[in-house]
Amino acid sequence: MENKRRENFKRLAEARTNQVLKKLKVLGNCSNRSSYDYTEEEVNKIFSEVEKKIREVKAKFTFPNRQKEFKL
């Protein structure tokens, strides 16, 4: 059972990571100045959102620290 869950994780994580990387490459195509016109503000807004989402998703993977007793 545990091995099957691990295999499922690896299979899905690899496929989904490759999809994300492909989409980022496609987004990079928008940088072509001969085809597109954009501002630095627009680019910053795009990458601010991408980085925000990466932080949110990465936080889901963090292992919780054991709660230590509170002391002042």
Note the pLDDT of residue 2. 85
Q: And the tokens for 38?
A: 């954009």
Residue 51 lies in a domain: yes
Residue 69 lies in a domain: no
Note the pLDDT of residue 68. 73
Buried b (16+ CB within 10 A) or exposed e, 3-40: eeeeeeeeeeeeeeeeeeeeeeeeeeeeeeeeeeeeee
Residue 33 lies in a domain: yes
Per-residue pLDDT of the chain (72 residues; tens, 9 = 90+): 889 999 999 999 999 999 999 999 999 999 999 999 999 999 999 999 999 999 999 999 987 766 677 778
Which structural domain range is residue 16 located in?
Answer: 2-61
Residue 68 lies in a domain: no
Note the pLDDT of residue 67. 67
Q: And the tokens for 49?
A: 């959102």
Note the pLDDT of residue 48. 97
- State the total domains in the chain: 1
DSSP assigned state of 35 = T
